[in-house]
Structure 1
C-alpha cells in the first residue's frame, strides 16, 4: 500500500487550526475545572459529614457517566427546555464550543476534586499540628499549608488528568467542533485518505502530550524542590571552614 504523503503536507495547516481549538478546550476547561475542584475537595475532606455529602452526588455522577453522554446532555438537552431558550444563558448554551467547555469543565472538576482530596488527606498531620501551634486560623492554614502541599502532591496525577482530557477532547468533534479530530474527519471526507490524515492527527496529539509532560515535570520539580535538597554529610560538616 502506497502512502499519499502529499495530502498530509497539503492539509497540515487545517490540522494546525484544529490544534488551537483543542488547546483552548483543554486548558480553558482545565483551569475552570481546577477552580471548581478546590472548594469541592475541601468540602470532601471536611470533618463535617453533611458537608462531605454535598459534593458527593456531583462527583459520583460525573465520574460514573461517560463524557460523551455529558456532552450530549448539555448540547442537545438544553435546547429541549423553553425556559433555557428564553434565558440569558441561551446565547452560550446554543454554541457547541461553550457546551464542550462546560462539559469538559464539569467532568474534569469531579476527577480533580477527588485527586486534591486524596492529596489533602496525605499531608502529614505533624505539619497541620505545627500550623495550629503557631495559632493559624483555618483559612490561613488552608492558604499557607494545606493547598500548597496538596498541589505539590497532586501535580503528577493532575498532569495525567489533563493528558486524559486532551485525548477526550476528540469527542468535541461529535458536536461539530473542528478540533484536531474534527478537522481530520472533514479532510478525510474530501480526500478519502483516512490512514494518512489520522496518522498526522495522532502525531499532533503525541507532540502536544510530550510538551505537556515536559512542562509538568518542570513545574513539579520547582514545587517539590525541597525533596531534591541534599543535607551536608557528617564529613563535610567536620571540615575546617578554610578548606
Structure 2
C-alpha cells in the first residue's frame, strides 16, 4: 500500500497533473451542495411550516418527491434524462449546462440535500416553544423580527444534531458522482484499481480518506453543538 500511495497520492488528493481530482472534487461537491441546499432550505422551511396550504403544499410536494426517490435516479435524470429532451438541445444555455457532468451532479445533490434540510428545519420551526413566540409578540415584534430574532435562530440551533447527520449522509452520497464521470475519490480509486489490480489497497485508501472527512465533520459539528446548545443543558444550582 505504501508504494501505491507514493505513486498515486496526487490523484487521490488533488490532481492527476491536468485536472482536479479526488479529495478536492469530493470536498467541492460536499461544500457547494450543502451550502446551496442550506441557503434554499431556510426560506422553504418557513413556507413548509406555514399554515397557508398554498405556501406549504408546493414545498411538501417537492420534498416528498426528492426524499421519496433514490438520489441515484435523480442524478441519472438530470445527467442523461433531461439531455435527451428536444427543448434542452434547442436552448443554448440549457444545452451547455446539461452537457456538463459537474453541473448536473451539483444540481441533483443540491436539490436532494435541500429537500432533507427543509424538512429538518421545518420540524424544528414547528417545535419552537409557544412561550418564546408569545413573549416576542408581547414585546411588540413584527412577524419578520419574530422569525429572524427568535424562531429561526432557535430552530437552527436545535436542528443542528439532525442536520449534522444529514451532512455526513451527503458526503456518503457524493460517491455516486463517479457514475457521471466526475473524478471524485471513488472514481480515482476505481481508476487506480484498474491500473494496478490492487483492489484492497486502492479502495482502502479511499475508505481512509472518507473516514478522515467524516471524523473531521463530527468533530466540527460537536464543537458547534457544545457552543450553540449549551443553553439547553440543565443548569446546576
Q: Give the TM-score range, shorter chain.
A: over 0.9
Matched length = 229
Name the residue aligned to 2:226.
Answer: 221
Question: Which 5+ residue runs of structure 1 have no aligned equivalent?
Answer: 234-243
Q: Which has the larger radius of gyration?
A: 1
The alignment partner of 1:77 has SS state of helix
Name the residue aligned to 1:44.
Answer: 48
Confirm or deny that 1:78 pairs with 2:82. yes
Contact kept? 1:5, 1:196, Cα under 8 Å: no
Q: Greater RCO between the two (CA within 8 Å, min separation 6)? A: 1
Q: Distance in 1 between matches of 2:44 and 2:34?
A: 15
Q: Distance in 1 between matches of 2:95 and 2:37?
A: 21
- Root-mean-square deviation over aligned CA pairs: 1.4
Q: TM-score, normalised by structure 1?
A: 0.90
For each residue in 1:55-106, what CA deviation from the matched residue of structure 2 results, as whole angstroms up to 9, or x when unmatched?
1111111001110000000000121123222322332221111111000000
Q: TM-score, normalised by structure 2?
A: 0.92
Name the residue aligned to 1:240.
Answer: none
Contact kept? 1:44, 1:52, Cα under 8 Å: yes
**CA positional deviation for 1:228:** 5.0
Q: Distance in 1 between matches of 2:82 and 2:55?
A: 29
Confirm or deny that 1:7 pairs with 2:7. no
Equivalent residue for 1:135, pick from 125, 129, 140: 140
Contact kept? 1:184, 1:198, Cα under 8 Å: yes
Q: Distance in 1 between matches of 2:10 and 2:45?
A: 41
Q: Distance in 2 between matches of 1:187 and 1:91?
A: 30
Equivalent residue for 1:101, pick from 89, 103, 106: 106
The alignment partner of 2:209 has SS state of helix
Q: Distance in 1 between matches of 2:27 and 2:90?
A: 32
The alignment partner of 2:159 has SS state of helix
Equivalent residue for 2:13, pick from 13, 16, 22: 16
Confirm or deny that 1:145 pairs with 2:150. yes
Q: Distance in 1 between matches of 2:103 and 2:70?
A: 19
**CA positional deviation for 1:229:** 8.0
